[in-house]
Structure 1
Amino acid sequence: MTLNAETALVRAVIHYLGQAEKLLAVLEVDPQAEALMAIQISPDSFDTGFHLAVAIQFAARALCLPVGAPVPEIDEPCTVASLRNLHTAVAAMVNEVGKPDWSSQVRHVAGKANLEQSTADYIARFALPNMLFHLTMAYAGLRHSGIKLGKADFDGLHQY
């Protein structure tokens, strides 16, 4: 099978949305889930639950924004139930939007910067890296709290 760059970008977003769901599943069965979600790995960082919410939301930002589809808001404070609802909504939206319009420009805000990027550049250099950053931070918060997770749990590819 030949895989072009655009298809690889979409597959990566969908794959890591699945990995975010696996972290959410770990939280759902832990009796201390709400406390785990409040973990911050530094005093000035978002908590683990919010990082996971942002990672999930970035899948919609990556694939819905280029086609003009709405991106769901994050309900705060984040709870396991609100994260499950967000993930369900984002997964449905991502499945509905189909292929991004690779010829379009995406206008968005990054912090205080107003940006305009081609769809491929937007997904490759903004949306996917931000999704992975927030997923990594959620993963790190859970690891910091003692949850047994490894590289295979993060990328879904390694086996040990």
Structure 2
Amino acid sequence: IPPIAYIPLAILWFGLGNPPAVFLIVIGAFFPVLVNTIAGVRNVDGIYIRAARNLGASQLTIFRRVILPAATPYILSGMRIGIGTAFIVVIVSEMIAVNNGLGFRILEAREYFWTDKVIAGMFTIGLIGLGIDTLMTQLNNHLLRWHRGLEH
């Protein structure tokens, strides 16, 4: 279920203001990370786990040294999707349930026909989104330096 569909329920449960926005952000960010993490753990090749067991590794060591590194690309992909979804939810929440923020300011400018401010707000949202995505890409590249060598 898209996080935006939870808006009426969030407003009923938490009223207007920041609490429903936080709830929606958590929902928007949590599930992409969860789904990708589960996929990453399920896609760990069993031969690596069996090899670690045969070498005497404990369950914790297998998790830390085999499963977590193998699932990291999936987890980071989920984080990238989750952060993007959360960012969209933040803007929409500000437009609907919060009386401050960039989304609120864009709607306020629309009511007064301040086209320049609406466009400036849209441009700002785009720049913030680009900045967040760039940071996530850099984090991904930094944490997965070892992974690029395996792909070639």
Common fold by TM > 0.5: no
Pick the TM interval, shorter chain: 0.3 to 0.5
TM-score normalised to the size of structure 2?
Answer: 0.33
Larger radius of gyration: 2
Which structure is richer in relative contact order (CA contacts within 8 A, separation 6 or more)?
A: 1
Higher helix share: 2
